[in-house]
Amino acid sequence: MLRYYLQLAWRSLRSSRMLSVLMMLAVGLGIGASMTMLTVLHVMSADPLPQASAHLYVPQLDPRGMEGDAEDVKPPSQMSWPDAMNLLREHKGVQQAAMASGQVTVIPTSGASHAFSAQARFATADFFGMFHVPFLHGSGWTAADDQNQAQVAVIDRKLADKLYGADRAVGKLLHLGRNAYRIVGVIGDWNPTPHFYDINQGAYADAAGVFLPLQTAIALKQGWSGALECWGRFDFSQDMRQAPCVWLQYWVRLDTPAQVVAYRQYLVNYSRSQKETGRYQRPPNVGLHDLMGWLAYNHVIPGAVQMQTLLALGFLLVCLVNTMALLLVRFLRRSGELGVRRAMGATRGSVFAQLLAEAALLGGGGGAAGLALAWGGLWMVRQQPVAYASAAHLDLTMLIATICAAVVAAVLAAVFPAWRACQLQPARALKLQ
């Protein structure tokens, strides 16, 4: 039966080629625009570290004084140096790392005149294991290296290639300003998107090319950069380790729900003990977010992208209403033909189904047009120098979703016009001929 309907539909589409193509174009435009934006949204809200994200948590503490924004009840999103060091030492998670972002000046062996600056991440040893950073050569450093402020470094393949060649870099020296570090590892491509572990760098920032032990980098006064929130008196020439500021990111791995509950309690207990010693002024005010929760908490998806998606969906709506009006016209125009079919014994249901099949065919054509448009749209998105652009690709899910969405949309739009066309009395329809 369906085959017969599709045959009829095909014939009808061919009999009014111009109108059919126009309708497919209209559906295709709406679907193409919506799918482009939905793909961008899909990419931007993707899980940056699917294999580990469920067990990664951000603890929050509130070491701020009572003055200033006392009404600001959310604990800061970053951590102060003393708190980060205490939490690291007490080691209550499965793995944990404190980190900060930095800017370093790389002096290549060819001399200072070829110096260039590079993004750096200062982190403690668990960073690499906890975040599943893939090593091509060598490995990360150890907790002992952190403690001893060892001058070691991990670099990415791109920098290694530039300096020594990726396979020869381990064991060589990396000169950053006046300091030299021994390269212990070279990592492969690793750039989780969004840049979840330090959202202040821009949620779609690139990963750093140089990794240094946090304690070493801060002790050697490597250029630190990033967002900081301070309270009380603070002087920029002061040692960051004593500053009344939060400026470090802190992540912890917790494998079981029981560990999560225990860790939250630990944060409360820790805050209480800090208040007893007089370091904290506020009552315990803690937070513990898992990775995806943290992204939501920080609203990482830009408002502009949400608005563009909304715009695309609004556009799709217009296209659908347009399709509905055109389908109505199209079906009513064929009332004579439909009247004949009804008079020959076709039920209302089968005429209805025939009309929906025609709409589905139109939708399929529209979907193909939409796919071409979405492909072109995403190509244009990728040409933009925005950070998330490179990730905007049409994957298989989105490909199938596009065609399905187009067919479903066209069929939905056809329900009302088809129903109307079925209401015509066969006798009246024949008389109109």
CA angle 126–131–134, rounded 5-degree value: 100
Which phi and psi angles does 57 have, rounded to 5°?
A: -130, 150
Q: Does 311 bind other proteins (CB under 8 A)?
A: yes
Which phi and psi angles does 359 have, rounded to 5°?
A: -65, -40
Which residue in 35, 56, 84, 107 binds other proteins (CB under 8 A)?
Answer: 107
* CA–CA dist 213, 101 (Å, integer): 11
137, 149 contact by CB (below 8 A) = no
* CA–CA dist 121, 131 (Å, integer): 13
Which residue in 46, 70, 329, 404 binds other proteins (CB under 8 A)?
Answer: 329
Between 155 and 319, name the residue whose CB sits nearer to other proteins: 319
Whole-number minimum distance, CB 172 to other proteins, in Å? 18
Q: Does 38 bind other proteins (CB under 8 A)?
A: no
Which residues neighbour 311 within 8 Å (Cβ) at sequence distance 6 or greater? 37
Chain centre to alpha carbon of residue 69: 31
Q: Does 384 bind other proteins (CB under 8 A)?
A: yes
Q: Assign 167 to helix, strand or coil.
A: coil
Which residue in 2, 4, 22, 269 binds other proteins (CB under 8 A)?
Answer: 22
Q: Does 301 bind other proteins (CB under 8 A)?
A: no
Neighbouring-strand partners of residue 186? 137, 155
Determine the interface stretch with other proteins among 21-29, 129-137, 197-205, 270-278 (rule: CB under 8 A). 21-29
Determine the interface stretch with other proteins among 264-272, 280-288, 380-388, 394-402 (rule: CB under 8 A). 380-388
Residues 261-300 as x/- pattern, contact with other proteins by CB under 8 A: ----------------------------------------
226, 247 contact by CB (below 8 A) = yes
Whole-number minimum distance, CB 243 to other proteins, in Å? 12
The DSSP element (H or E) to which 112 belongs, if any, is none
Between 328 and 353, name the residue whose CB sits nearer to other proteins: 328
What is the per-residue DSSP string for 69-86? -TT--SPPSSB-HHHHHH
Whole-number minimum distance, CB 22 to other proteins, in Å? 5
Count of residues interacting with other proteins (CB under 8 A)? 50
* CA–CA dist 270, 262 (Å, integer): 12
Q: Does 23 bind other proteins (CB under 8 A)?
A: yes
* CA–CA dist 396, 386 (Å, integer): 24
Which residue in 6, 8, 25, 415 binds other proteins (CB under 8 A)?
Answer: 25
* CA–CA dist 232, 246 (Å, integer): 12
Between 88 and 217, name the residue whose CB sits nearer to other proteins: 217
Whole-number minimum distance, CB 62 to other proteins, in Å? 22
Between 318 and 404, name the residue whose CB sits nearer to other proteins: 318
Place of tokens 């200062």: 122
Maximum C-alpha span of the chain: 97
* CA–CA dist 44, 192 (Å, integer): 11
Which residue in 66, 71, 89, 113 binds other proteins (CB under 8 A)?
Answer: 113
Residues 218-257 as x/- pattern, contact with other proteins by CB under 8 A: -----x---------x-xxx--------------------
188, 135 contact by CB (below 8 A) = yes
Q: Does 314 bind other proteins (CB under 8 A)?
A: yes
In the complex, the residues that contact other proteins under the rule CB under 8 A are 19, 22-23, 25-26, 29-30, 33, 105, 107, 112-113, 115-117, 175, 177-178, 223, 233, 235-237, 303-304, 306-308, 311-312, 314-315, 317-319, 321-322, 324-326, 328-330, 332-333, 384-386, 420, 433
